[in-house]
Structure 1
Amino acid sequence: MRAATDRLTGRLRSPWWFHALRGLSVGAIVFGIAPRADWAIAVLAVGLVGLVLLPRLRTSAVGFSSANPDRWRFVRDGAPWSVVSLAAATAGLVVALFARQLGILEVTGIAVGVAVVVAVLGPLADRSARQRLARGLA
């Protein structure tokens, strides 16, 4: 039984590039949502496409997705890392959208900061969710 649990939770381990691309996608959205340049809308579109495609790629690689109707389960399972990542992304979006006095370099700095936070905290949230799943299956 323990071996089956280990195999199941091991399948849920996301590769390093998944978190890096997810961080870049969120950073692109933060940068692109701030109307500082005409071409920023293209960056926003790339970020949105990344956030839509990445989970689909992971679901096809893992072989299953969550059938639980609890939409905020990822926050509970990956807490507190998911909460911090979500808060950083939300704060970056709010600042980029509403702080009109920021220039393109400041917005870029905020977007890079959010991308790094999301990319770094992703593996920690992943590990926490796997541990909770393993405890739930045991």
Structure 2
Amino acid sequence: MTLSPNKILPLVVAASIVAPALTIASPANAAVKNPQALQAFKKGIRDVARLEGDGAKASNISVTCVAVPKVDDKGKCTGSFDLSKDGKTAHYVLTKKARTFRISPGAIEYRVSSKATKKVAGLPSSTDLAGFLQ
């Protein structure tokens, strides 16, 4: 069965309308509508595990952050978390430099600054990573 030009054109038009809609609706492109300070900071801890911990896994995250509802608000974060890699676990406590900062209505910057309570081979003795959630 061959399609005539009269049948192909409507299919092409329909495909051109549906394809961008599917791309926009995909979860990979979804932005956080109203990010929260704790949400951004937990993302920062997972980034620390991935980047500074060379693929370690973050666990036992016990962190509190001051809310940053308005643009240019800054908030301190306190608490601790663990990083595990190759059967070894290091416990990290946040330093005074740990904080969040709302850079726009839809984005929060984080700074994860922490020190290990005991050095573990293969994991950093301290961390200091900044990034953002949007």
* TM norm structure 2: 0.26
* TM norm structure 1: 0.25
More strand by share: 2
More helix by share: 1
